[in-house]
Structure 1
């Protein structure tokens, strides 16, 4: 009798545990047992316009799928650097990420063409290129490396900012140590200006500036503000040397696991988020500049043609190459 009672009790406990686990899974899925959730990681703060764009994409995907397809977003480098996240996409341990074309170029060299200094004439030309068939070709290049480019996000124009010495002309950069992304195009540009390119991860840049490991860095205004780099580097030169797009990417393994209809919904949500985010970027760039002025940042307006002339020397390295051909196509778009 006691043994039967023990079996009954054990069975009751196991049954209760299974019911609890099932309920937990049901709640996590929003009560929909067929809900599919993609995992997306990136290194930006949640206030950044690109993160907000991805949140919009998530919302639209849930609306289009009736809640059956969603995205969990891990921000602030919680799952590693951009390079680490790209590697995770390739091995299938992560579904999606956001990465700069400069970092994607580590795996897909053609993307370096989008990272060249002053390759875009202005913001209008930037989006005419990215929205064109050529822009779609750039997203397609990633297929060769197990990645799928879904859309471009605006990452603005990048400017130099320094902790001590102000930059009024290219000559002022000579001898300075400037933090850059680990990108050949970026390092070539800094070297052309006579400075020393110093690759440092985004998460370590604040400390590097504060401790004098580097004299300055370069980025767009919203990132300069949200990363609080202005606290340790208050001189910002508006030279707008590069406009390097961000890309929303899904791993090819994850893409292949989706049904045809799920792929269409994800592609539509991504496209809509790109158009939402580029409008938001313009708004947030103005807000960031106003906030930075309030924080005591010294904005330095310069003759960009002087910087453009120096940077032009970099293009000779790409003559006769595939990247050189892509640069000509970019510049050929009216």
Structure 2
């Protein structure tokens, strides 16, 4: 079954009130102003983004006397992020947590947040997404039948491998590095001198263990949670990407809400960001402790030589004055 047909089938199932893959029944179709919203997330049930949206659901429940709430379907129960985005735009899912990368093909204004080395730190990223820049990027999703509600963390991504520490771009030369199936990721890794190898996320551990790839790149919680630290011997803190994640709502669902409930949903989403960051920071600290107790060698990195190689990548993907303006404003918000 092709992606389009799979997405269509999911929409039919959702419209009929059925969850995919034998999951519990979704709420039957009814006006969303008096019942449970549906929420989708590809991350597992204990992940900070899932728990943050559940927090949001409790927030709505408490402030409406049970009239509004959110039923989460985590772990990709309703499909991949690409599939669920399409379903959300058609109104089959009410809330959807997705990384910004899948939004790039939908709305070009989301690309600046995905550029390598555009953010200098987690604090810089949070300052940007909490500003008018974040509001403008999220507002650009509305013509695509998506209401951008809030922006969550996805952590700082760094390189890990089985060969050697990465202290300069030359150390990446010739290494086979796994990347997601993303033109931007492929261009980034190739520009750094490595060989980008797009393989599915779930195959990384086995590919490392069997030597199919030399390394990969991701954040601290994933490095530990997916057990990649059991096979990768070196973690180099390049922090080349701090791409955030978005919580979006179907415009069809949004439009059925009266203005007071719309305001409450935005209020709940904003409150969930605080909870998500609290949970995320705990998860990062736990992962760092686990790595410190392992045999993995961790090294710091001067990001400047790596960032200097990214100008052609930026120029390839940032092509409009509006995108360039967003990038300029992001860089102006760096800590001096």
Q: TM-score, normalised by structure 2?
A: 0.83
For 2:247 and 2:43, the matched residues in 1 are separated by 13
Find the counterpart in structure 1 of residue 80 from structure 2. Answer: 81
**Aligned equivalents of 1:114, 1:192: Cα separation in 2:** 19
2:33 and 2:256 in contact (8 A); partners too? no
Q: What does 1:207-286 align with in structure 2 at a 5 Å threshold? A: 207-286=206-285
CA–CA distance in structure 2, aligned partners of residues 48 and 253 of structure 1: 27
Structure 1, residues 101-123: CA drift from partner, whole Å, max 9, x if none?
11211211211101111212323
Cα distance in 1, alignment partners of residues 181 and 63 from structure 2? 37
Deviation at 1:321, TM superposition (A): 4.5
How many aligned residue pairs are there? Answer: 304
The 5-angstrom pairing of residues 3-152 of structure 1 reads: 35-152=34-151
Instruction: Give, in angstroms, the shift of residue 128 of structure 1.
Output: 1.8
- Structure 2, unmatched stretches of 5+, are 1-26
Is 1:331 the counterpart of 2:336 in the alignment?
no
Structure 1 residue 319 displacement after superposition: 5.8
- Specify whether residues 142 and 34 from structure 1 end up closer, same or farther in structure 2 by C-alpha distance, changes over 3 A only: closer
Q: 1:97 to 1:200 in 2, by over 3 A?
A: farther
Q: 2-side partners of 1:39 and 1:291: how far apart?
A: 35
Structure-2 change in CA distance of 1:327 and 1:34 (3 Å)? closer
| Secondary structure, counterpart of 2:140 in structure 1 | helix
The answer to whether the 8 A contact 2:236-2:300 is kept is yes
- Of Structure 1 and Structure 2, which has the larger fraction of its residues in helix? 1
The more displaced of 122-131 and 133-142 is 122-131
- Indicate if the aligned counterparts of 1:81 and 1:201 stay in contact, CA closer than 8 A: no
Q: Which one is further off, 93-102 or 226-235? A: 226-235
Task: Tell which deviates more after alignment, 174-183 or 239-248.
Answer: 174-183
Contact 1:225–1:292 (8 Å) recurs in 2: yes
CA RMSD of aligned residues (A): 2.3
Match of 2:313 in 1: 314
Seen in structure 2, the aligned counterparts of structure 1 residues 206 and 321 have a Cα distance that, compared at 3 Å, is: farther
* CA distance 1:283–1:125, change in 2 (3 Å): same
Post-superposition Cα deviations, 1:47-79, rounded to whole Å, max 9, x if no partner, equal 322222222222212112221111111111222
SS in 1 for 2:54: helix
**Maintained 8 Å contact 1:48/1:223:** no
Deviation at 1:165, TM superposition (A): 4.1
- Deviation of 1:239 (Å): 0.9
Q: Does 1:158 align with 2:157?
A: yes
Give me the whole-angstrom Cα distance separating, in 2, the residues matched to 1:185 and 1:325. Answer: 19
Partners in 1 of 2:103 and 2:127 — Cα distance? 21
- CA displacement at 1:263 relative to structure 2: 1.8
When residues 207 and 89 of structure 1 are mapped into structure 2, their CA distance, relative to the original with a 3 A threshold, is farther
Whether contact under 8 Å (1:102, 1:181) holds in the other structure is no
Task: State the distance in 1 between where 2:210 and 2:129 align.
Answer: 38
- TM-score of the aligned structures, taking structure 1 as reference length: 0.83
C-alpha spacing 1:198/1:275, structure 2 compared with 1 (3 Å): same
Query: How much does 1:133 deviate?
Result: 1.0
Partner of 1:223: helix, strand, or coil? helix
CA, structure 1 residues 70+202, in 2 after alignment: closer, same or farther (shift >3 Å)? farther
Q: Which moved more, 1:33-42 or 1:305-314?
A: 33-42
How far the C-alpha of 1:82 sits from its partner, in A, is: 1.2
- Structure 1 residue runs without a partner (length 5+): 1-27
Taking a change above 3 Å as real, the CA distance of residues 207 and 84 of structure 1, as seen in their structure-2 partners, is farther
